[in-house]
Structure formats: C-alpha cells, structure tokens
C-alpha cells in the first residue's frame, strides 16, 4: 500500500507543481492565481488540457508554446518535477500522517519562495504573512517531531522561534548595511514559527551559510557579480536549510550536541 500512496502523492505533487508555476508567474504582479485560465505568456492563446499535463506536455512540446513557438522556461518543468519528487519522498518518509501534510505544505510554499527570489530577487509579503498565520495555527494544533523533546509547548516554541529568527536577521540586516534584504528578515521570522526554538537556529544558520557559499561560488565562477550595497538573495538557501531542518534537524542537533 505504501508504494501506491507514494506514487499517488507523487502525481498529486506534479499536478500541484503546475499550480505553483501559475503562482510563481502571477503572484509578483497583481494578477489573480485563479483567473484567467492558463494561457501562453507570449501569445495569450488559451492553453488546452493537453498542454497542461505536468512534465509530459513540456517534453512533448520540446519546451515551446504549441502556437507561437516561444520558449517555455525550463523552470516550469523543474518546479513540477521538484514538487512531485518532494511529495512522493515525504509520503514515503512519513506515510499518511499529519507530518506528511505539514511538511508537504511547507515544501510547496518554499518552492514558490525559492523560485520567485531566485528569478526576481523578491520575497513577497503576500506569501510570507499568510504563511505566518498558517504556521501559528499548525503549532496550536499539532506537535510535530521537530518541536518535540523541549520544555515548551509547540505554540510557545513557535512564537519564541519566530522572535529569534526575526531578531537575528534584523541584526544582520542592520549590521551588514543592506547586504540582506527585509524580505529575508521576515522570511527568517516565518522559518522560526515553522521550526520552533531551538531548531530555528539550525535552519537560519544553515540557510545563511549555504547562501553565502553559493554567492561566493557564483562570484568565483564569474557567473554573477555583486556590487557593494546589492543584496544577495538568501530566500533559496533559507528555503533549503528549513526543509533539511524539518526532515533531519533533530538528528543533526543531537550529533552536534554529542560533539561538544
């Protein structure tokens, strides 16, 4: 049965990945994510159901619009693949549990955060604020494994985590004089609400380190250059750091405490 559920959640993830692409395209503007139905961004022809099959349509059309031949970004394919793989893996890992629902939801939110920040250098309030409300509600009703084993009840752990994340990144933003954007500060607060205290520390430090390494790597490879005062997008690395923390954070912090 587990294999069947894993496959079904993989398919669900592929379908939701198509919806995430719509969110990624439309949320940075003022466009609705439900209306109008999907259309080509270049020629505005309404897309048929056969153009909207996750992964397969992209491969079949060789990454171009059926009508005007405009190139469809590779990201469309990659987002569908990532979201399908994420839900399949999480179902395999957690089975049909509340943890599957919670980590699956955050995986999808963080795919959106990751791609919008990478493409546009934006972390949107309309993504972060509603997510903060959801994180608080979830902490009020569930006791996920990453919040277990500490003296706090989950809602207190979430509130403290949110405050710590916000404060840490606010300090970094002030000290770095613009090297980190305010969107990252709010995102760190959200991550604290999701991971709780103390795992927020692991998530944001891992995110900051991964982001710094990626920036240095790109700089060395001369793929991208940063002038002084320009902000490095930390959203993608914070998103990755948070998902690693939710899945393996308990083990990582036990291992670290074992070292010292």
Residues within the interface to Zn ion (CB under 5 A) = 40, 42-43, 65, 67-68, 70
Structure tokens at 23: 């969110």
- Interior CA angle at 135 toward 185 and 114, to 5°? 50
Q: Where are the alpha helices (DSSP H) in 45-73?
A: 56-60
In this structure, what is the dihedral angle of CA atoms 149, 153, 156, 159, given to the nearest 10 degrees?
Answer: 60
Q: How far is the CB of 21 from Zn ion (least distance, A)?
A: 15
Beta carbon nearer to Zn ion, 66 or 218: 66
State the chain's maximal CA–CA distance in angstroms.
62
Q: How far is the CB of 26 from Zn ion (least distance, A)?
A: 17
Q: How far is the CB of 172 from Zn ion (least distance, A)?
A: 43
Beta carbon nearer to Zn ion, 50 or 125: 50
Q: Which residues pair with 39 in a beta bridge?
A: 46
Dihedrals φ, ψ of 239, to 5°? -60, -45
Q: How far is the CB of 66 from Zn ion (least distance, A)?
A: 7
Q: How far is the CB of 30 from Zn ion (least distance, A)?
A: 22
Q: How far is the CB of 41 from Zn ion (least distance, A)?
A: 7
Q: How far is the CB of 47 from Zn ion (least distance, A)?
A: 9
Q: How far is the CB of 33 from Zn ion (least distance, A)?
A: 20
Beta carbon nearer to Zn ion, 65 or 124: 65
In this structure, what is the dihedral angle of CA atoms 181, 186, 187, 192, given to the nearest 10 degrees?
Answer: 140
Beta carbon nearer to Zn ion, 65 or 127: 65
Give the C-alpha separation, 76 to 17, whole Å.
Answer: 8
Beta carbon nearer to Zn ion, 47 or 134: 47
Beta carbon nearer to Zn ion, 8 or 43: 43
Structure tokens at 161: 């985590």
Name the nearest CA neighbour of 194 among 115, 233, 117, 249: 249
Beta carbon nearer to Zn ion, 38 or 231: 38
Give the C-alpha separation, 84 to 15, whole Å.
Answer: 8
Beta carbon nearer to Zn ion, 43 or 209: 43
Q: How far is CA 7 from the centre of its chain?
A: 22
Give the C-alpha separation, 147 to 137, whole Å.
Answer: 14
Write down the residue that tokens 């494994």 correspond to: 145
Structure tokens at 113: 């955060």
Structure tokens at 75: 């990201």
């Amino acid at each position: 049965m587990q294999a069947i559920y894993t496959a079904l959640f993989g398919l669900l993830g592929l379908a939701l990945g198509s919806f995430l692409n719509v969110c990624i395209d439309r949320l940075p503007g003022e466009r609705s994510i439900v209306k109008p139905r999907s259309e080509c961004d270049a020629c505005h022809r309404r897309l048929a159901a056969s153009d909207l099959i996750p992964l397969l349509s992209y491969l079949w059309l060789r990454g171009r619009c059926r009508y005007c031949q405009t190139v469809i970004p590779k990201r469309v394919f990659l987002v569908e693949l990532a979201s399908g793989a994420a839900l399949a893996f999480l179902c395999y890992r957690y089975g049909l549990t509340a943890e599957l629902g919670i980590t699956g939801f955050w995986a999808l939110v963080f795919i959106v955060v990751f791609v919008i920040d990478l493409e546009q250098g934006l972390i949107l309030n309309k993504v972060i604020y509603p997510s903060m409300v959801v994180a608080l509600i979830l902490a009020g009703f569930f006791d996920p494994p990453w919040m277990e084993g500490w003296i706090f009840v989950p809602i207190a752990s979430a509130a403290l985590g949110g405050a710590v994340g916000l404060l840490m990144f606010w300090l970094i933003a002030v000290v770095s004089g613009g090297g980190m954007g305010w969107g990252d500060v709010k995102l760190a607060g959200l991550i604290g609400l999701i991971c709780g205290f103390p795992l927020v520390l692991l998530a944001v430090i891992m995110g900051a380190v991964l982001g710094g390494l990626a920036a240095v790597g790109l700089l060395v490879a001369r793929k991208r250059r940063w002038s002084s005062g320009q902000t490095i997008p930390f959203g993608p690395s914070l998103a990755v750091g948070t998902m690693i923390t939710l899945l393996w954070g308990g083990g990582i912090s036990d291992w670290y405490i074992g070292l010292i």
